[in-house]
Structure 1
Amino acid sequence: MTVPTAGAIVAALRTIIRDYNYWGTSESDSPLTIRRTKSFTDPQILSADASMRRRIGGASYQVPIDRPIACKTLIEVFTPLVDGCKSEVASAMGGIENLRLPAEGLEYYVQLYSTFASLAETKVCFVDAPNDPYVGLFIIGKTIDEIVVAQALLVQT
């Protein structure tokens, strides 16, 4: 398998999120941001998570100290998201206009999955903390020259 360059992957991901950028398990708008880096270790994941939490939480927000990182495979994360969209499409009542959002969601998840599946050492990491509504989401994959990260802060109460 030929692994593409980080620049090509980042460009493809930015095209994917241009039209539809909503993570379905979040209770608020949680757009993915795309970046590339030379390394992305657990301490770097926690640091990026803390930055997102501070940005959203405001001046009085205290970043929880106990924030474990749980990692899953792409298939474990994307299969239920795709299945949910397929069910919404299948059960849509009314006209074509009722198919737009679930169809866009389905396309979004399939394209994200396919793009990251072309990379090496892929994983999806969630940073969660007890009694905190925020969950850091990090989709990570390695290209031939760098690591590509799609990240968002989900709201899950």
Structure 2
Amino acid sequence: MTELTGAIASKLLKTIVADYNFWGESEGDSPLAVKRAKVPLDEKKILALDASARKKAEQIEGYKAPERTIVTKTLDEVFKPLVTSSLLQLEGKSNSILEGTLTIESLESAAEATEYYIQLYSAFKQLNSPKVCYVEDASDPYTGMFIIGTSADGQTVFAQSLLIQT
């Protein structure tokens, strides 16, 4: 397996999200933005990036992000339920097509979601110390999400989104 540099990992991830960019844990459109940094994303940096995303989403002058906590999960903890859900949706639609109640075109969204999650998982799995960080606050409908890994050349590669969860 080739070790991914920050530039190659970032390009790979941007290609993945260019095709299908919808995160299943969100109630709204929450596309992933792929970025890289020369420094690790510590708690302070994650909270700052999250606050900036919340401020942009709220579009309120003087907006101040609420007190938030960071919950860290493994790739498996996050991606397995998403892949399982999209596969079950795909299976259900496949059965409906066999029964003649749906068209083949109806498989497209579920198939794309399955491919999207598997490709993202595989790309981040090639990075060192991959993890997913959720920035949460019980009183705010937004949850910041960061999928993070370190490339072979020491850069931090991450995908960031602001999920809507009410």
Conservation of the 8 A alpha-carbon contact between 1:135 and 1:153: yes
Q: Deviations over 1:103-153 (max 9, x none)?
A: 000000000000000010111000000111000000000012201010000
Q: Secondary structure at the match of 1:148?
A: strand
1:153 partnered with 2:162:
yes
Question: What's the counterpart of residue 49 of structure 1?
Answer: 50
Conservation of the 8 A alpha-carbon contact between 2:143 and 2:162: yes
Q: How does 1:106-121 map to 2 (within 5 A)?
A: 106-121=114-129
- Please report how far the alpha carbon of residue 70 of structure 1 lies from its aligned counterpart in structure 2 after TM superposition: 0.4
Question: What's the counterpart of residue 10 of structure 1?
Answer: 10
The unaligned stretches of length 5 or more in structure 1 are none
CA distance in 1, matches of 2:9, 2:64: 34
Q: How does 1:1-157 map to 2 (within 5 A)?
A: 2-39=2-39, 40-59=41-60, 61-64=63-66, 66-92=67-93, 93=96, 94-145=102-153, 146-157=155-166
Conservation of the 8 A alpha-carbon contact between 1:127 and 1:137: yes
Amino acid paired to 2:120: L
CA distance in 2, matches of 1:42, 1:86: 34
CA distance in 2, matches of 1:96, 1:63: 45
- Please report how far the alpha carbon of residue 41 of structure 1 lies from its aligned counterpart in structure 2 after TM superposition: 0.8
Large movers: runs of 4+ above 2 Å? none
- Please report how far the alpha carbon of residue 3 of structure 1 lies from its aligned counterpart in structure 2 after TM superposition: 2.7
What TM-score, normalized by structure 2, do the two folds share? 0.91
What TM-score, normalized by structure 1, do the two folds share? 0.96
CA distance in 1, matches of 2:83, 2:121: 10
The unaligned stretches of length 5 or more in structure 2 are 97-101
CA distance in 1, matches of 2:160, 2:3: 21
Conservation of the 8 A alpha-carbon contact between 1:3 and 1:120: no
CA distance in 1, matches of 2:150, 2:55: 27
Q: Secondary structure at the match of 2:113?
A: helix
Share of identical aligned residues, percent? 46
What is the CA RMSD across the aligned residues, in angstroms?
A: 1.1
